[in-house]
Structure 1
Amino acid sequence: MTEFFMPMIPPTTTAQQHKITNGRFYDPPKLKAARAKLEAHLAKHIPSKQYVVPVVLITKWCFPITGKHHDGEYKYTRPDTDNLQKLLKDSMTKCGYWKDDALVCREIVEKFWAVHPGIYIKIEELK
């Protein structure tokens, strides 16, 4: 099992924001910065042994409180959880958490407003 919390303001730029020029995909500067931020934080928690079996990935995205929201309230505004997860899993693959993110067979994803912003991650092997 791998479990950790990355204190940060989570990136809101998502993998869906690729651009195309002359038939080629590229990452705009905001996406490159979001990817670099995630990879820098993830690099501190790389498991000693890469996952090579099916896993469950539990992710809690904790965003800074704005407006009249309160700590622990579900965040029901953009970005969508599926878009957040794509960039996160791609970054985890690049950092070597697992052989391939196709090994993630079950996901629990939540997003909240929080006093302590960041991303909580837990990975467990499926039996």
Structure 2
Amino acid sequence: MMTEFFMPMIPPTVTHQEKKIHVVNGKPVTYEPPELRDARAKLMSRLVRNRPEQPYTTGLRLTVKWLFPRGKHKDGEYRITKPDTDNLNKLLKDCMTEVGFWKDDALVASEICEKFWAETSGIYVRIEKL
């Protein structure tokens, strides 16, 4: 079983790292600012259309290519500016867990994550059983 798809969009640049903390009754409480909440909703609405019929239950390799609008860059040129790939993938994997790609993203034992400037922006995802 393998899952492969492309989600055309301008990828969100807000990441999981951007959760905020405030104090309620003397205790710290984390919350998602509106930009992070919007990015999560954008990803989930597109991911749900591509989820497998049955969630994965074995070890996986996840390949993700983040394709950002190229602007003055060459099509296919690596993006070497923020956000970091690990932060981008963290939010994506959390959303994939929520919509039912797998029970736990701990099943992802191998990750290939790249980010580029591209003429066609979006997120390419490939999931393979190990």
Q: TM-score, normalised by structure 2?
A: 0.95
1:71 equivalent in alignment to 2:75: yes
Instruction: State the alpha-carbon separation in 2 of the partners of residues 99 and 105 from structure 1.
Output: 14
- Deviation at 1:28? 0.3
RMSD: 0.5
SS in 2 for 1:57: strand
SS in 2 for 1:97: coil
Instruction: State the alpha-carbon separation in 2 of the partners of residues 41 and 70 from structure 1.
Output: 27
Instruction: State the alpha-carbon separation in 1 of the partners of residues 67 and 114 from structure 2.
Output: 9
Q: Which runs of 5+ in 2 are unaligned?
A: none
- Deviation at 1:66? 1.9
Partner of 1:116: 120
Q: Which runs of 5+ in 1 are unaligned?
A: none
Partner of 2:34: 29
Give CA deviations for 1:42-76 in whole Å, capped at 9, x if unaligned: 01101011001010000000000122x11000000
Post-superposition, which runs of at least 4 consecutive aligned residues in structure 1 deviate over 6 A? none
Instruction: State the alpha-carbon separation in 1 of the partners of residues 82 and 56 from structure 2.
Output: 30
Q: Which aligned pairs between 1:39-78 and structure 2 lie closer than 5 A?
A: 39-67=44-72, 69-78=73-82
Instruction: State the alpha-carbon separation in 2 of the partners of residues 105 and 99 from structure 1.
Output: 14
